[in-house]
Structure 1
Amino acid sequence: MMNTFISGERQYGFVSKFNYVREAGTSGEQRAAETILQELKKENSDAQIRTEEFSFFAPQIKRSFFEVTAPYHKVYEACTFGFCANTDENGLEADFVYLENADDINMKQANGKIVMLNNYMSRTMLEKLVKAGALGFVSFSGTPIDTGKKRLPTSKNLGQSKTLAEIPGTCIHFVDAAEIVEKGALRVRMICEQTLVEKTSQNICARIEGSDKSDDILTVTAHYDSVPQGPGAYDNMAGCAIVMELFLYFCEHKPRRTIDFVFFGAEEKGLLGSRAYVKAHDSELSHHLFNMNIDLAGQSLGGTVIGVTGDSSICRQFEALAEKCGIGMTTRSSVWSSDSNTFAWKRVPSMTLNRDGYGMHTEYDTIDLISAWSLRRSALLLCTIANYLANEEVFPLCRQIPQEFLAQLDASFSTEK
């Protein structure tokens, strides 16, 4: 029955409705939320369909400026790093040093300087720079072969916060960063000015109440927002199509356990939708047994990985289910970089399905690269797993999360202000 019900063409048609940018807090994201609601309500089922709004802060960049002042002079295109401190109107000028990967030896040179480093800038890294006495930092984006618009730096942000961080930061392009190092920049000046504005996003939820084990809750989730660079068909409207397909299946085949199908907003801003969800549902989290998340799906060529943040025995069980339905995939027991982390942080075992693909976070992430064949296979695999979890007499998965995973998650989420 499942094999004949799941449709790749129906999922492809769903993805085709969202071929536009859906950055969190914008009219594009709001438009997508309204379309998802309409699609859920078309089923005319007894599912409990609702919208859960939440607010967040976003940086509004006012000024960005970066120049080398010694031993040569040149102004470079720059973009103020979101959520970092402002400089005064004249900017911050100081000696400059390139710290590479911010290893302990290089970090000893940071005191009193504006520093540049390779690492992805996080609040943890920023705290390390502040402790080392750095006055400001420079990050870079792009590749050495970029041309045209790609030759400009890409905006970057620290994690979500209601306040600006301790020191200013800016981002320049890779090619400019390489030139600065090659030419031996010794002193630089930067101007950073931004304000924080409050914005609204929403999670779209559809709950199907279980028949005889309704106190047990499973979640099937994906985020529907995109980055501003492209329409995000692979990342992650294809994942939303899979969630919608499973919703349609369980409307027709009522599960024993309750399933909440959730389309998260603002994932690209720092897992904000899933964080708002666990906060709103804190009183019922003890009844949540497992989170099935999808993030990156739908392209034809590539392999499928299910990352499990839970006991390694879950991987073996999912592999057996995949073999049963004849769909190849691999599993990995680890902390995954998606909304599943939020559930695991709250001690709910979780997984994320991730399929290889091209164009994530770029203008190339369009429906042109999405495959109905691939969508059907991923949905069939996840529906097999969901059906197993929703209907077994005794819930079949271990609910203990390894301590090393919990330590990683606690450290990661504790850095968010």
Structure 2
Amino acid sequence: MLKDVPTKFSGAKAYEYCKYLAITIGPRLTGTAGEHKAANYIAKMFRSFGLKTRLQRFPVTTFEASKCTFQARDGKTWRSYAVEPVGLSKSTPLRGVESEFALLDNADSEYFSGRLRDKIVLLLGTMNMADLPKLCSFGPKALIFMDSGIADEPIRRVFRDYQRTKKGNLPMAHIKHMDAVDIAKRGLTRGRLNLQLTEKKSYGLNVIGEKVGSDRTDEIAVVCGHYDTSMGIQGASDNAGGTAIMMELARVLTAEPTRRTLRFVAFACEETGLNGSLYYADDLAKRDKREKNKATFDPKLHTTELDRHRLVFNVDVHGAILGNSGFQYSGVDDVGAAVRLLTKELGVHAGVSKGPMSSDGSALAAVGVPAVQYARTGGTTRFLHSTRDQMKFISAEALAQAGGFSEVFLRRYVIDAAALAFPRQIPKDQEEALKAYHWPELKKTKKKKAKKRSTARPARRS
């Protein structure tokens, strides 16, 4: 209950969904059996709630790491340090790579130079992968990210499949911050990395459950969360917790009439670059274009399925016993104002900011759908993308708090509203930031078509 506002959301039920995903199923890396098992579990639960349920399948690349070792030379001996591979990065030769270190204390590309050639680059923090081609052009042997946060183990990260094909690739791994400090304090200057990754083609499954509205059936609100994880971890808060909230909202909100169509979506493959939500959004965009190109399409009489998408409410990273709540929104300022006013009314301490979040709601915002994205930060969320993102740091009370707010927001602005409080509009000043969330294959297809048109022979004049 939120400040004496009754809700039907059950934190206990959400906790059980979360526990099943995180512990009973466990790791849910893109395209693996664990992810597919989770998809079938969510689909089963959706059907039990009475939702019309389907699975949207799409191609992905997954991987296994058979070896990832890193050592630094300390005099005549080699000192070993734990590292985690960057998934879908490049393998080293079987014997590994060995070289002097080149230290970069930030990822500003203007400092990339020939001094990186044939070196193992140690980079503090992360980098904009758009700068990877420039880094690769100087010929380093490998790249090791020195985590900027203080943690017990290196984070587990996956390189986006399209980034490596379009922007270059090299062997990459993460080392925890304090091990990097140890290397620096000891003055170690030479190391060797052995990274062996095996890739295979697989598929992802978006799980879609829908309840059709009673009198506003042509207005669709998407409630979503991703259910996959980084490699080999429970992913309790990221994002079994968010998925569990979405599932409990599905149970509660579909038990009663709704004026608008509610579409609950559990997205796959978010950790490998929003693959599931980008595929979903791209599919809507391509069908929208085909329909509007038909001679029979009249914008005054007809709408596409993309047009009918009016709002997306995305839940990502939730359930931590202690933490801070925050919202990011894409759309007109009234979207943010609606969230902000409700937090004040219900006594929910949360920040509200304009702009995209690196999560699934941004994929739909990039094709014109206003988005509200809800996350929990601080506290044990520092363990994201590591084996310490575990159920022991999750509580039913934290899930109930986030789920209760979400229920009230959706009832007020979607389910019961006589008219939607904000237009289906992404302002121009937000479009640039959202470009990064367009599906890259769609861009590639457009470029190819444009190239074909430019090389086509001109029609003969009669």
- TM bucket (normalised to shorter chain) is 0.7 to 0.9
CA distance in structure 2 between the aligned counterparts of 1:300 and 1:95, rounded to whole angstroms: 44
Q: In the alignment, is residue 306 of structure 1 matched against residue 330 of structure 2? A: no
What amino acid sits opposite 1:374 in the alignment?
A: A
Counterparts of 1:266-415 in structure 2 under 5 Å?
A: 266-282=269-285, 283=287, 284-356=305-377, 357-358=379-380, 359-387=383-411, 388-411=413-436
Deviation of 1:412 (Å): 5.8
Which is worse superposed, 222-231 or 286-295?
222-231
The equivalent residue for 1:160 is 161
Is the 8 Å Cα contact of residues 238 and 375 (structure 1) preserved in structure 2? yes
Report the secondary structure of 1:129's partner residue. helix
Change (3 A) 1:63 1:413: farther
| Distance change (3 Å), C-alpha of 1:59 and 1:238 | closer
Matches of residues 11-410 of structure 1 in structure 2 within 5 Å? 11-20=14-23, 21-24=26-29, 25-43=31-49, 45=50, 47-68=51-72, 74=78, 76-77=80-81, 78-103=83-108, 106-108=111-113, 110-114=115-119, 115-141=121-147, 146=152, 150=153, 153=154, 155-161=156-162, 165-282=168-285, 283=287, 284-356=305-377, 357-358=379-380, 359-387=383-411, 388-410=413-435
Farther off after superposition, 254-263 or 160-169: 160-169
How many residues in Structure 1 have an aligned counterpart in Structure 2?
410
Q: 1:277 to 1:185 in 2, by over 3 A?
A: same
Residues 331 and 93 (structure 1), Cα distance of their counterparts in 2 relative to 1, 3 Å cut: same
For 1:31 and 1:262, how far apart are their aligned partners in 2? 16
In the alignment, the residues of structure 1 paired with residue 7 and residue 91 of structure 2 have an alpha-carbon distance, to the nearest angstrom, of: 58
Letter of the structure 1 residue corresponding to residue 122 of structure 2? M
Q: CA deviation at 1:350?
A: 0.8
1:159 Cα deviation from its structure 2 partner: 1.4
How many Å separate the matches in 2 of 1:90 and 1:322? 56
% same residue: 27
Matching residue of 2:455 = none
Deviation at 1:80, TM superposition (A): 4.4
- Please tell me the residue identity of whatever aligns with 2:397: W
CA deviations over 1:204-225 (Å, ceiling 9, x no partner):
1111112222122110001122
Q: Which amino acid aligns with 1:36?
A: I
Question: Partner residue of 2:294?
Answer: none
Return the alpha-carbon distance in structure 2 between the equivalents of residues 264 and 145 of structure 1.
Answer: 28
Give 1:294 shift.
0.5
CA RMSD of aligned residues (A): 3.2
In structure 1, what is the Cα distance between the partners aligned to 2:201 and 2:319?
Answer: 33
Q: 1:402 Cα deviation (Å)?
A: 3.8
The question of whether the paired residues in 1 share the 8 Å contact of 2:157 and 2:385 is answered with no
Q: Which amino acid aligns with 2:45?
A: E
Q: 1:375 to 1:63 in 2, by over 3 A?
A: closer
TM-score by length of 1: 0.85
Q: Which piece of structure 1 moves more, 90-99 or 302-311?
A: 90-99
* Amino acid paired to 2:210: R
Contact kept in structure 2, 1:100 and 1:106, CA below 8 Å: no
Residues 141 and 170 in structure 2, CA contact (< 8 A), matched pair in contact too? yes
SS at the partner of 2:352? strand
In 1, Cα distance between the equivalents of 2:7 and 2:94? 65
Rounded Cα–Cα distance in structure 2 between residues aligned with 1:170 and 1:57: 19
Change (3 A) 1:86 1:370: closer
Unaligned runs of 5+ in 1: none
From the superposition, tell whether residues 162 and 57 of structure 1 become closer, same or farther in structure 2 (CA, over 3 Å).
farther
SS in 1 for 2:157: coil
Query: How far apart, CA to CA, are the structure 1 residues paired with 2:79 and 2:397?
Result: 50
On the 8 A contact 1:122/1:158 being kept in 2, the answer is no
Instruction: Note the residue ranges of structure 2 that are not aligned, 5 or more in a row.
Output: 288-304, 445-462
Which string of whole-angstrom CA distances, capped at 9 and with x for unpartnered residues, describes residues 258-301 of structure 1? 11101112222222221222233333222211110001223343
Change (3 A) 1:13 1:134: closer
